[in-house]
Structure 1
Amino acid sequence: MMQSLLVMLCLCAGLGVMSPKASAQTDTNAAPLIFRDAHEESRFHALSSELRCVMCQNQSLADSNAVIARDLRVEVLGLMRKGMTDAEIKTFLVQRYGEFVLYKPRMAGMNMLLWFGPLLLAVGGAVVLFGFVRKRKTVVPHSDARVPEEEEEW
Structure 2
Amino acid sequence: MPIESLKILFNRDLNQLKTEIELYQNESDIWTIQKGISNSAGNLCLHLVGNLNTYIGAQFGNTGYIRNRPLEFSLKNIPKTELLSKIEATIMIVDNSLTNISEEDLKMEFPLLVFKEKTSTEFMLIHLTTHLAYHLGQINYHRRLLES
Bigger radius of gyration, 1 or 2? 1
**More helix by percentage:** 2
TM-score, normalised via structure 2 length: 0.27
Higher relative contact order (CA 8 A, sep 6+): 2
TM-score, normalised via structure 1 length: 0.27
